[in-house]
Amino acid sequence: MAGHSKWANIQHRKGRQDAVRGKLFSKFSKEITVAAKMGDPDPDKNPRLRLAIKEAKSQSMPKDNIERAIKKAMGGEGEDYEEIRYEGYGPNGVAVIVEAMTDNRNRTASTVRSTFSKNGGNLGETGSVGFMFERKGEISYPVEVGDSDTVMMAAIEAGAEDVESGEDGHVIWCADSDLNEVATALEAELGESSSTKLVWKPVTTTEMDLEGMQKLMKLIDALEDDDDVQRVTTNFEASDEVMEQLGAE
C-alpha cells in the first residue's frame, strides 16, 4: 500500500492550490446537499450526511459553506442529481472507477468518455473493473493517537476488519455497512478521526513505472477537473522511488 499513502500526500500538496480547493468545496457541497435531500437534514439522524460533513471539515471547508449546502436541500435543490459510476482502464491497463453526481447524464458520459480517450485510457462497461475493488469503510487517524497496538485493540473492539499503521498514520478498514457503527465506537476510544469515508479498495493492483504514473496523474487530474465528477479511484501500485520522483516534480 506504500504507493497509496504517498499518493494521498501528493494529492494533498496539490490540494493546497486555491483553484483545486474551490472545486473540492463545490464537490463537498453537492454531496452534502444530496445526502440531506435523500435523508434527514439533521446529521445525527443521517449517517451519510454526517460522513459528508466530516469529510468536508477534514479538508477545512468553512462551516458557513456546510450550512448553506444543507439549506439548499431544505429549499428543494439537489433533487435532480443522479449518482452514476463509470469504470474504465487508464495507461498500462490500470483500473479506474469514476463516481459522478450529475443533472445531465448524457453530458457527463460524453465528457468522461472523451477524457479517458484523450489521456491514454478507455471507458468500459459498468462492472468491467469493479470486480478488482471492494466497497469498504476507511477511517484514518494521525500517528499521534497512539502506537499500532493501541489502535489495533481499539479497532478490534469497534468491530473493524483490518488496520494498517505506518509513518503517515493509521488506516482502519471495515465492512461498508458497518462504517457508521465502527467510526462511532472508535471516536469514543481514540477521539475524532482525520477522515471517515466509503471507498473502493483495490483487491488486485497494477504496478506502474514513472512514465505510467505521469500519464495516470494527467488522466486523474482531467477527470477530477470535471464538475460532475465527485471521486476517482484507481488500483495502481508504485514503488517508493517512483512516488518520490513524482512528488519532486
Convert the pLDDT of each residue in 145-185 to its tens digit.
999 999 999 999 999 999 999 988 999 999 999 999 999 99
Convert the pLDDT of each residue in 81-106 to its tens digit.
889 999 999 999 999 999 999 999 99
Q: What is the pLDDT of residue 2?
A: 42
As a whole number, mean pLDDT of residues 205-213 equals 92
Q: What is the pLDDT of residue 186?
A: 96
Q: What is the pLDDT of residue 117?
A: 96
Task: Please state, in angstroms and rounded to a whole number, the distance separating the CA atoms of residues 228 and 108.
Answer: 7
Strands 206-207 and 236-237, how do they pair? parallel
Write the DSSP string, 117-153: HHTT-EE--TTTTGGGEEEEEEEEE-GGG--HHHHHH
**Structural domains in the chain plus CATH codes:** 8-75 (1.10.10.200), 82-131+204-248 (3.30.70.980), 143-193 (no CATH)
